Amino acid sequence: MQEPAARRTLVREWVASTSKIFLIAVAIDLIYQVVVFKAFYPIESLVIAFVLAMIPYALIRGPVNRITRRRMARTRDQSHGFGKKAA
């Protein structure tokens, strides 16, 4: 991740893939605040949305990508005959 262009691309992908999750988390928290507290705290809503939506997404994405890549490589190798034993 030394290249700035690669970093920019990854950040754009992360924002694109998490923007909907973040907005939904903010909306849910705002509804909760209005129902429970009868008030609206925008900064707290942003913090809660970040902590409860973005951090778990970032933590889970890496391991899931690695597992998926391994399974796809295994499937590809088996379909090309690389995983078969010689008779």
User: What are the extents of the domains in the chain?
Assistant: 4-79
What proportion of the chain, given as a percentage, has pLDDT over 70?
Answer: 91
| 50 token code pair | 């970040």
Residues 18, 53: contact at Cβ < 8 Å?
yes
Neighbours of 29 (CB within 10 A): 20
Q: What is the pTM of this model?
A: 0.63
Task: Reply yes or no on whether the pLDDT at 1 is more than 60.
Answer: no
